[in-house]
Structure 1
Amino acid sequence: MAEGLMSVLVFDLDGTLVSSMEDLVATLNVVMTEAGYSAIPEGDIAHMVGMGAKVLIQRALDFNGIEWTEETVAPLFEHFLEYYAANIAVHTKPFEGVITALEMFRKEGWKLAVCTNKAERLTLPLLEELNLTRHFDSIVGGDTFAVSKPHAEPIHGAIQRAGGTVAGSIMIGDSGTDIDAARNAGIPVIAVDFGYTPVPVSELGPDKIISHFDELAVAINDLNKAIA
């Protein structure tokens, strides 16, 4: 239970709240093949996600053995944003148990926030399309602040905008980026083990690991008992 209605659960988006890999794969490979590069297998793309679309494109160019510059990446990035925005939720949907969990936490008095490295111009429409916006007190994208995760500022910003305090707040994510961001922000972190990461989250030292959103409430209660 949140204390004084001020603690915030801060959620990553891709690979944590929503299963978006199919749409990310489709968009990236349209962009790459239309530019004359090789498509990227889905198993490899899963290891590239987490730092936003621009880094995803850079990693795809690395995969193709291309020495890229900002000038190389810029038109591909714009193409990615345009195509993805037009096809943002063809296959993307919340992971099983997400809606039930979010509704439960709100009833218990938690503030809820999203903190993702996906650009705002993609994050906000995606959450709207999936009817998820209504659950959150704040939404922070990868370009909301001057820096993105793993810096602490987006986490602190999401908490502040939600009307919460850092003390008592918890990060829920799927990657080393989220875990590092939580550490930098000074809050505990729960990792899901079904997300998008090149390294199993069990090797990254989160405070708790869950395999389904049904397990999140118990993990949070365990963390709160350990802190108390």
Structure 2
Amino acid sequence: MSNLAQVRALSKEGETLGIRMPDRPGWRQLSELLGLGPWPPMDLEMDFDQYVLACVLSRALEEIDAGEASATEATGLSQAELRDILNRSFPAPTIHAFRLEEISDVEPGVEEEALRGLLLAHARAGDSMSVRFAKIIARRALRHDHLWRELGLFDRVELSRLLATHFPTLAAGNTENMRWKKYLYRKLCEAEGFSLCTAPTCRECKELESCFGPEEGESVRAGASRGRT
């Protein structure tokens, strides 16, 4: 595979961002299933939605192999939705790694259902992928780390692009660049007519950095790559 095929070109405000995809465990397994050796199918023509799905699926594979979750538990999608995504976007051998025949659908809890509802209220009309990303984001937001990391993305920029693409009105409301998970939960509070925050304004809050500070930390992919050096 050429060096160009190891680079994912992403557009951000007219600029091109070249992203090299290190060989982390989930990526390695997914790319081997795709028959492409140690590198995932990253080239300049790859669709951004498919790229995000590959990131999420690689995280799911890691959790499946670690015995932490099934494919439906890791993604928030139903067995039928996962099967459709894998059949449409990935070669046939890939589907077997997710053990769909062994698992059942998982009903979302109250918190997850509320997050889904928020995202769906701002989803692009008639776009089935927006619906599926709403389910994926709501499930991964329940994890403890930064949302972009839990989705398997390279950085926060990619998450911002995903939200702006599929939930444009919701993303546009984050005018002060609040951390995305904090922002989603703040919007839930506003919808319910209450706030968990007691500070009169954000700038007067003693925990300002927990909402607006930089989302530090490298991606799981970068960490795995560094661990091999």
TM-score of the superposition, structure 2-length normalised? Answer: 0.31
Q: From the two aligned structures, give the one with the greater helix fraction.
A: 2
TM-score of the superposed pair, with normalisation by structure 1: 0.31
